[in-house]
Amino acid sequence: MAIDHHHSTPIYGVSGLRVLPDEGGTRNWDTIIVDESVKNQLLSHAVLTLAHQKELSKLPGSMQRLVILAGPPGTGKTTLATGLAEKVSTLLAEKGDTALVEVNPHSLPSEMLGESQRNVARLLDNSLPELSLRYPHVVVVIDEVESFAVRRSSASFEANPIDVHRASDAVLEGMDRLMKRCPNVLVVTTTNFPQAIDEAFTSRADLVISVAIPTTEAAAEIVRLSLFELSQIWSELTDLAEDESLHRSIAEQCNGWDGRQLRRLPLKVLASNIELASNPQLLTKEDIFRAIKSF
Ligand SMILES: Nc1ncnc2c1ncn2[C@@H]1O[C@H](COP(=O)(O)OP(=O)(O)OP(=O)(O)O)[C@@H](O)[C@H]1O
Ligand SMILES: [Mg+2]
């Protein structure tokens, strides 16, 4: 549970609170290599809804300000969602701060559905509206939203189906109230299980973005970035970090790997051998290719 330093009281259901822009800059946003159109869509949506919240709230069919990022594990969804808050905060800085609020859906236990319904209400009706009064712009990130907005027809746990209905309705109604009351709140959710999310939740989203496994070009860029970071520590690795044809052939060998695996590759190679682990500056191309074959 996050502590609000303005009041030093825990905020229910919130696991992290960052007031942006901060010294971290746009690190998360910059780190994710995806098709430029994904970043453009996300950023345009966030700017429109947050910069023009007053005007938009007068429109009858006003936007719900709900975004869903869907895709396989390790494709950068969570990083992109927090990065979006970082980036939009720099564009809106003149109009005031942006609070990045991270919600932990597991703080809303789904096994105890009656209880969970009250928890959802506390989060959506109390915690988030309070934060929205305090900050001009609020970006709420809800990870693994399928555990929060579970699909009624396929709830797999052994719960009373009537309770599942009630819990889902509590989420949907709570979201609707939040969106009405708090025009300065943008909710960004992530899932690697879009088929498990309630259709009524999905249909409320203004923007559903699929994040995919990196293309070969993107994979090469992720490899470059990871080697570049190592070369900042061990300058002997600068040649590897600058060898674009190497990055390309690594990317081709690692076809189908997700962003998380690609990003960790150089570290995994170092960790695979006691000689390299002791002397990372000795890393060679051959070490990398040999390690890839063995993974
Ligand atoms: N496209 C990418 N470009 C650069 N780095 C990436 C990319 N995708 C993932 N990563 C890196 O992989 C790690 C995991 O990313 P993240 O947690 O955002 O993925 P996720 O999609 O939320 O995964 P999960 O579905 O398992 O929660 C991070 O360190 C991130 O920087
Ligand atoms: Mg994630």
**Same domain assignment for residues 72 and 201:** yes
**Same domain assignment for residues 191 and 268:** no
DSSP annotation of 85 reads H
The angle subtended at Cα 37 by Cα 128 and Cα 216, nearest 5°, is: 115
Ligand 1 pocket, residues with Cβ under 6 angstroms: 31-34, 73-79, 190, 192, 214, 222, 259-260, 263
**Same domain assignment for residues 203 and 260:** no
Mean pLDDT of the chain: 89
The distance from CA 110 to its chain's CA centroid, rounded to whole angstroms, is 21
- Domain stop point among 210, 233, 262: 210
Q: What's the gap in Å between 78 CA and the centre of ligand 1?
A: 7
Q: What is the pLDDT of residues 77-100, one digit of tens each?
A: 999 999 999 999 999 999 999 999
- Domain stop point among 169, 188, 210: 210
Nearest alpha carbon, ligand 1 atom 4: 32
- Domain stop point among 155, 179, 210: 210
CATH of the domain at 124: 3.40.50.300
**Same domain assignment for residues 72 and 185:** yes
Q: Give the predicted TM-score (pTM) of the model.
A: 0.91
Nearest alpha carbon, ligand 1 atom 13: 260
Q: Give yes or no for residue 162 having a pLDDT over 70.
A: no
Nearest alpha carbon, ligand 1 atom 26: 73
Q: Which ligand is nearest to the CA of 214?
A: 1
Q: What's the gap in Å between 38 CA and the centre of ligand 1?
A: 15
What is residue 292's predicted lDDT score, i.e. its pLDDT? Answer: 95
Pick from 81, 182, 71, 69: which is nearest to 123 by CA? Answer: 182
In terms of residue numbers, what domain contains 83? 2-210
Q: What is the pLDDT of residues 233-285, one digit of tens each?
A: 999 999 999 999 999 999 999 999 999 999 999 999 999 999 999 999 999 99
The number of domains in the chain is 2
**Same domain assignment for residues 195 and 224:** no
**Same domain assignment for residues 182 and 267:** no
Q: Which ligand is nearest to the CA of 219?
A: 1
**Same domain assignment for residues 181 and 83:** yes
**Same domain assignment for residues 203 and 222:** no
**Same domain assignment for residues 137 and 154:** yes
Q: Which ligand is nearest to the CA of 28?
A: 1
Q: What's the gap in Å between 143 CA and the centre of ligand 2?
A: 6
Residues linked to residue 19 through DSSP beta bridges, in sequence order: 99
Q: What's the gap in Å between 102 CA and the centre of ligand 2?
A: 12
**Same domain assignment for residues 196 and 237:** no
**Same domain assignment for residues 110 and 206:** yes
- 110 and 162 Cβ atoms separated by less than 8 Å: no
Nearest alpha carbon, ligand 1 atom 23: 74
Residues linked to residue 70 through DSSP beta bridges, in sequence order: 191, 210
What is residue 215's predicted lDDT score, i.e. its pLDDT? Answer: 97
CA distances from 59 to 50, 53, 95, 294 (A): 15, 10, 22, 58
**Same domain assignment for residues 179 and 240:** no
Instruction: Name the residue of 78, 142, 254 whose CB sits within 8 Å of the most ligand 1 atoms, as the mutation to test its pocket.
Output: 78
Q: Which ligand is nearest to the CA of 77?
A: 1
- The average pLDDT across 189-194 equals 90
- The residues whose Cβ lies within 5 A of ligand 2, an ion, are 78
Q: What is the pLDDT of residues 90-132, one digit of tens each?
A: 999 999 999 999 987 766 655 555 666 777 888 899 999 999 9
CA distances from 49 to 84, 116, 216 (A): 13, 29, 34
Q: Give yes or no for residue 168 having a pLDDT over 80.
A: no
Q: What's the gap in Å between 60 CA and the centre of ligand 1?
A: 37
What is residue 159's predicted lDDT score, i.e. its pLDDT? Answer: 59
